Amino acid sequence: MKPDEDVGPPVVQIERLWTKFGRTVVHQDLNLEIYAGEILSIVGGSGTGKTVLLRQMLGLETPARGSVRVFGEDISEADADQLQRMRNHWGMLFQQGALYSALTVFDNIAQPMRELRALPEDVIYDAVLVKMNMVGLGVEHANKMPSDLSGGMVKRASLARALALEPRLLFLDEPTAGLDPDLSDAFVALIQSLHRELGLTVVMVTHDLDTLFALSTRIAVLAEKHVIAIGPTRDILAVDHPFIKQFFLGARGKRALEVLDEHEEQGDREHAKEPEN
C-alpha cells in the first residue's frame, strides 16, 4: 500500500525477491516499495532477514531471484562504477563498524568526500565542520579518536559521516542500540529534525519500540520470508498476526504505545495551532 497517492515513483522497489544462502531461503517472493520522504521501519523476529534485506538494498547481497531497484536502477545489474555512483546518493549508519578506529572524527567524516577525489581540501574542511554542527558535535571533538568518544558521540559522528555526501536516502540499522534512554531520545530527535530539514527518505531496522513509534511513517513487518504487513503504525497494530501481537502488545509495547498516544496528541495540538491559509 502506498502512503499516499501523490508520492511519485518508489525510491526503493523490491519485486519478488528471493535471498538464499546455500539451501537456506531467507526471503521468498518478498515485495516492498519505499517512497520519497518516508521513514520506513522494518521489524521482524530474530533471524527473519532484516539486515540481509538492507544489504540487498545496498547491493551487498545478490538476489537469487527477483529484483531490487533503487532510484529506478536495478542494483544487481549495476557494474562496480554504477554501484559506486549510486552509493554516493545514500548514507548508511550501521550498528558496528560505523567509524574507522585509526582515523580522527574529522578524517572519518571527510573520508567519503576524499574518496570522490573531486573536492579540494578546503571545501572538505568546511563541509566536515558543517556536518559536525548538523549532528550537534562540537568542533573541539574534531581531532579526537573514536575511542575517546562516548557512545552518543560515536553515533553522532557516524551519522555525520553517513550524511557527508548529502544523501537523499539514509539506511539506519539499529540506530539507538547501546544508547541509554536519554541519549536514545536525543538521537531520535536528531534524526527527526534532519529528516524534516533535509527531506530524506529513511529506511530503518530497529527492535526498539520507542524509536520505532517516534520515527516511523510506515512499518513493514517481516515474517514467513516476506513482508506480511505494511502501513502506518496504527494499521500495523490492528493486524492479527502472532508476531505482531507479541512484539507490539506485550508489556514493552504497551509502554511504547502510551508514548505514541502522547506523540499523536501533541501532533494534534500543534496542528490545531497552525493558522489556516
Ligand X SMILES: Nc1ncnc2c1ncn2[C@@H]1O[C@H](COP(=O)(O)OP(=O)(O)OP(=O)(O)O)[C@@H](O)[C@H]1O
List of residues contacting ligand X (CB under 6 A): 21, 26, 44, 46-52
Cβ proximity to ligand X: between 52 and 239 the closer is 52
Nearer to ligand X, 42 or 83 (CB): 42
C-alpha pair distances (Å), 8 with each of 3, 13, 35, 169, 201? 11, 12, 7, 15, 13
Q: Which is nearer to ligand X, 54 or 160 (CB)?
A: 54
What does each C-alpha distance from 10 to 13, 32, 72, 151 come to in angstroms?
6, 10, 8, 34
Q: How far is the CB of 113 from ligand X (least distance, A)?
A: 30
User: For residue 120, with 0-12 CB atoms within 10 Å meaning exposed, 13-18 middle and 19 or more buried, which class applies?
Assistant: exposed
Q: How far is the CB of 109 from ligand X (least distance, A)?
A: 27
**Nearest distance from C-beta of residue 111 to ligand X, angstroms:** 25
Min dist CB 96 to ligand X, Å, is: 11
Q: To the nearest whole angstrom, how small is the minimum distance from the Cβ of residue 187 to ligand X?
A: 19
- If the CB atoms of residues 44 and 152 are measured against ligand X, the closer one turns out to be 44
Closer residue to ligand X, CB minimum distance, 25 or 123: 25
Residue closer to ligand X, measured from CB, 96 or 277: 96
Shortest Å, Cβ 243 to ligand X = 12
How far apart, in whole angstroms, are the C-alpha atoms of residue 256 and residue 213?
7
- Whether 172 contacts 203, CB under 8 Å: yes
Q: Smallest gap, in angstroms, from Cβ of residue 21 to ligand X?
A: 3
Q: With respect to ligand X, which residue has the nearer C-beta, 22 or 275?
A: 22
Bridge pairing between strands 218-223 and 73-74: unpaired
